[in-house]
Amino acid sequence: MPDTSLISPDSTLLLLGILCLMAAFGFWLDKTRIGRNISGAAGILAVSMALSNFGVLPKSADVYGVVWGYLVPLSIPLLLLKADLRRVIAETKGMIVAFFLGATGTTLGALIGFSILPLGEEAAKLAGVFSATYIGGSMNMAAVIQSVDLTPSLAAASIAADNVVGVLYLSFLAIVPSLWFFRRLLPAAEIEEANAPEQATEQSDAAASGLDLKHMAFALGLSLVICALGEFLAVFAGLPGYSIMFVTAITLLVANLFPRHLKHLKGDYEIGLLFMYIFFAAIGISADIAALLDKAFSIVLYAAIIVVCHAAVIFAGSHYFRLPLMEVVIASNACASGPASAAALAAGKGRVDLVAPAVLLGVFGYAVANFVGVTLSVWLSGG
């Protein structure tokens, strides 16, 4: 069937420009009151789906393949170059125990939902995608979607479901510290003032640091080399479809061999995030709304089951280990949503001492979630 969209699939430069403009829209939305609740990724998804399904943009074009095949793998090293795992272990203390409890609950929920819901032929892929997103965040969801080759309509439905269920869960976490049941379930520790000024200064310095073209060029070059090496090793190992696993492993090796050098890079994370937002735009454009709605309910229910299991395991397990309530809340946020919202929640609750650990746990989630998601998908599919 010929493409009848207003903009031709062959208009590569124009389509690439539109993808970048939609990413810019997502970054702008993140700064607004509405955007902080629904996320820029959700806004990008909604606008891009509308533009393609109303015939403005083509649902398929060569430039979208470039985004899937190059920008997503390239974003992995850019987002993980500062993943110093030694800092995670040293500075997160009991919070890492809560994080592992949450990751266990997420995986358990993915298995339960996979067993009881009619998720269709790509059920194993969905299990991998959702286990990754509720252990790491949207970056891992995007990486695993690309790695397991989830169809665009299901990918769009998954991102939409993640945003709906994720926002509800983050809203729940925000009120947990004030709920009587949870205050009785877990001890409420006092704020650890000793580390607060130092960590507040560290966060302030990070926010104030500008971009550096030399650093950005180095980060891009290093990431491209890592991606090339990861692809080569994947082919050499007979696993060409799982190059992202090798890219993640190589990046973690580099990040932990040279942490002092890489921690001073400026602009690496921002470029990686830009590539991810462009990916969300490409996913939305490729999605068929009719196919999305057909699967929407079961996918939302699947996401809800995973989040409920995550919450049940992390709070019950933390009660057993007598972990402080706010540390558990922040660890759960870092696991289910990533470093940015976890740090924001810690700061918003007046726990400046937990901001840096929240960021470290979120980055740790980035580092491990791809492995969990792809492995679970392969295992459930019998591959």
Locate the domains of the chain by residue range.
12-380
pLDDT at residue 144, rounded to an integer: 92
- Structure confidence by residue, pLDDT tens digits, 218-244: 999 999 999 999 999 999 998 887 788
Side-chain-side CA neighbours of residue 318 (13 Å) = 34
111 φ/ψ sector (left φ>0, alpha ψ -120 to 50, else beta) = alpha
What integer is the mean pLDDT of 83-99?
Answer: 85
d(CA 108, CA 65): 33
SS3 assignment for 319-336 = HHHCCCHHHHHHHHHHHH
8 A C-beta contact, residue 32 and residue 43: no
E strands, 174-283, are none
Rounded to whole angstroms, the maximal C-alpha distance in the chain is 66
Report the candidate in 299, 161, 269 with the shortest Cα–Cα distance to residue 207: 269
Structure tokens at 95: 């919070």
What integer is the mean pLDDT of 184-193?
Answer: 64
In the DSSP assignment, the letter for residue 6 is S
- Structure confidence by residue, pLDDT tens digits, 295-305: 788 999 999 99
More confident residue, 202 or 251: 251
- Structure confidence by residue, pLDDT tens digits, 12-38: 999 999 999 999 998 898 888 777 666
Structure tokens at 381: 């599919």
pTM: 0.75
pLDDT at residue 192, rounded to an integer: 41
pLDDT at residue 123, rounded to an integer: 95
With a cut of 80, say whether residue 199 has pLDDT above it. Answer: no
More confident residue, 2 or 134: 134
Decide yes or no: CATH 1.10.600 for domain 12-380: no
pLDDT at residue 124, rounded to an integer: 96
8 A C-beta contact, residue 333 and residue 136: no
Average pLDDT of the chain?
A: 85
- Percent of the chain scoring above 90 in pLDDT: 40
pLDDT at residue 3, rounded to an integer: 64
